[in-house]
Amino acid sequence: MKDKNGKTIKVGMEVDVPEPNGNDMYNFEFRGSVHSFHDEYVTIEDMESNFFDIEPERLEIVEEQII
């Protein structure tokens, strides 16, 4: 899966999650880590160990990371 800039998303990477839209289960933008992939979504873990499924094209990899 690719982020909004076309970079490949991998488990363990840090990503920026944007402001929520009407269907999202979170309340504000945040930085989290990629936990897994689920159907067409990327599962992101926040700093409080909450998990959210986000469309990959809405995410942005924090910086180029080697995993």
Domain count, the chain: 1
The answer to whether residue 2 sits within a structural domain is no
Residue 23, domain member (yes or no): yes
CATH code of the domain containing 56: 2.30.30
Please, what is the average pLDDT of the chain? 92
- 18-40, pLDDT tens digit by residue? 999 888 888 889 999 999 999 99
What whole-number distance in Å separates Cα of residue 40 and Cα of residue 48?
A: 24
Domain that holds residue 31: 14-61
Query: Is 9 within a domain?
Result: no
| CA atoms of 46 and 35, how far apart (whole Å) | 10
Query: Distance from first CA to last CA of the chain, Å, rounded?
Result: 15
* Full-model pTM: 0.87
* Domain annotation covers residue 27: yes
| Position 49 in a domain | yes
Percent of the chain, pLDDT > 70?
A: 94
